[in-house]
Structure 1
Amino acid sequence: MNLNTPEFSRFTHDGLSLAYFDAGETTGEPVLLIHGFASSANVNWVHPGWLKTLGDAGYRVIAIDNRGHGASDKPMEVDAYRPWVMADDAIALLDHLEVETAHFMGYSMGARISTFAALKHHARMRSLVLGGLGIGMTDGVGDWDPIADALLAEDPEAITHARGRMFRAFADQTRSNRTALAACIRGSRDLVAREAMASIELPTLIGVGTKDDIAGSPQELAALMPNARALDIPNRDHMLAVGDKVFKTAVLDFYRELG
């Protein structure tokens, strides 16, 4: 199995054709990876080395291209991107692969999707790793409408909003469908009530870069949950924390402790 260039397959859910890979050790415990906004399974999990890290550790590594991203279909309606809708895509992928339970690991928007999956489908989940999103899960992460505007701007040089410029550059770099991403950023920002977070009893690891100005405190989010711990990823911002070796080591240790 080549852990550098996985082969993608497709399945159909909710009228959409969605792309995924299923790699690593076929007999290992399944880990389902859910990427962040404007990213893809390759950009979020393969290029930063997660597929190799988890595969070498003996896990079956499954990752989805979220709707609107990567090689998956790209609806243009805002409501197609509600986090509970995308959570159902992830569960449908497990159904397609006949996987009963898996460790869920999401980054940024993927962490929100994974949390909504835990609220509705906790019996399908062995554990939860939330990367790049702390107390912003419940309290919000600022005004993202300028990012949608930046994605749709005709002239990227005219974008004045700093975060908007960053995500527009990222979307252009990944050759994303910017119209679909604008719908996604408007549709996927639903917050999780603090009481709902407190109801999630799954073993949870929350990792956030110490220079991340988007996610909010991982300690504050972990304090709401009965079985969660926080991880500071040193000197990493929102874009760079995902592939950090401290994060990878902590996740592997977390999984080993679960047995």
Structure 2
Amino acid sequence: MPDGGAAAARPVLLLHGFASSSQLNWQNSGWISTLTAAGRTVITVDLPGHGRSAAPADPDVYRPSRIRADLLQLLTDAGVLPLADDNPASGVDVIGYSLGSRLAWELGATQPELVHRMVLGGPGSDDPLADFDLAGARASLAGREETADGATAELLRMAKAVPGNDMSALLAMVEAIKEEPFVPTDAVPRMPLLLVAGDLDTFAAGAPELAELSGQAELLLLPGRTHANAVTSRTFKQAAVTFLG
């Protein structure tokens, strides 16, 4: 949904991470207030099975390709126009975090006529959700045993830490992502990118590879920040506002 901002400024689409929501990722951490104070219109969305969005049983709803199609419809409904040199309000800038960065990468690569610039937080060249140990996660949720996979255990811990998370819907998304894993070389966005990650973020260890693949990316590492808390960084917000201009 659009949130305030100046009519002459290009809107900013915010894409949250796995097991999070627009409220947690962007509202509570001060991103929306920072962007609107900078004169930007903000478009937020909760991914399927997250936040206030529905959690349908249809597995196709959770496919990244389906989500990108839904995002394109969202932008159309919000009145986003194709980029035009004589219209500074045309197109859209995108800020994604974690899974949102993966979706943004693919959206920018497939919709270059709409996407102007992107800020990708916590990005990686690997896909932790594609490697997610579903059987181990289900066993852990059933109280039988903990998964031996460290990345799965950390993602599961983060998901369970959010009150109200629908674990069945989140696992349905994991299953869909396993069928459409992130392969960044398949389609590379050619607009300017800012990649931001905590220097302690193991999920974003491949961020330099994405920067090299892009050829138009700046890389910012946040000292002492992890995947869980980089998004709250004031330095991150300031860098994003400056980069998007």
Instruction: Say whether the fold is shared (TM-score over 0.5).
Output: yes
- Counterpart of 2:176 (choices 168, 180, 187) is 187
**Higher strand proportion:** 1
Q: Is the 8 A contact 2:195 2:207 kept in 1?
A: yes
Matched residue, 1:170 = 158
How many residues align structurally? 231
Give structure 2 stretches of 5+ with no counterpart. Answer: 82-90
- In structure 2, what is the Cα distance between the partners aligned to 1:148 and 1:171? 16
The 3 A distance-change label for structure 1 pair 195 and 153 is closer
Would the alpha carbon gap of residues 170 and 117 (structure 1) be closer, same or farther in structure 2, given more than 3 Å must change? same
Is residue 113 from structure 1 mapped to residue 85 from structure 2 by the alignment?
A: no
Tell me: higher relative CO, structure 1 or 2? Use CA pairs within 8 A at least 6 residues apart.
2
What is the match of residue 5 of structure 1? none
Aligned to 2:197: 208
Shift in Å at residue 164 of structure 1? 3.8
Contact 1:210 1:233 in 2 (8 A): yes
TM-score (norm 1): 0.81
Which residue in 2 is equivalent to 1:196?
187
**How far has the Cα of 1:180 moved from its partner?**
0.8
1:71 corresponds to? 52
Is 2:13 aligned against 1:35?
no
Q: CA deviation at 1:223?
A: 0.9
SS at match of 2:69: helix
Distance apart, 1:119 and its partner CA: 2.2
1:35 CA displacement: 0.5
Matching residue's letter, 1:237: T
Q: TM-score, normalising length from structure 2? A: 0.85
Residues 1-259 of structure 1: matches in 2 within 5 Å? Answer: 21-27=1-7, 28-100=9-81, 101-136=91-126, 140-141=127-128, 144-146=131-133, 149-150=136-137, 153-155=140-142, 158-161=145-148, 162-172=150-160, 173-188=162-177, 190-194=181-185, 196-197=187-188, 200-256=189-245
- Partner SS for 1:207: strand
Question: Following the alignment from structure 1 to structure 2, what is the Cα–Cα distance between the partners of residues 93 and 193?
Answer: 24
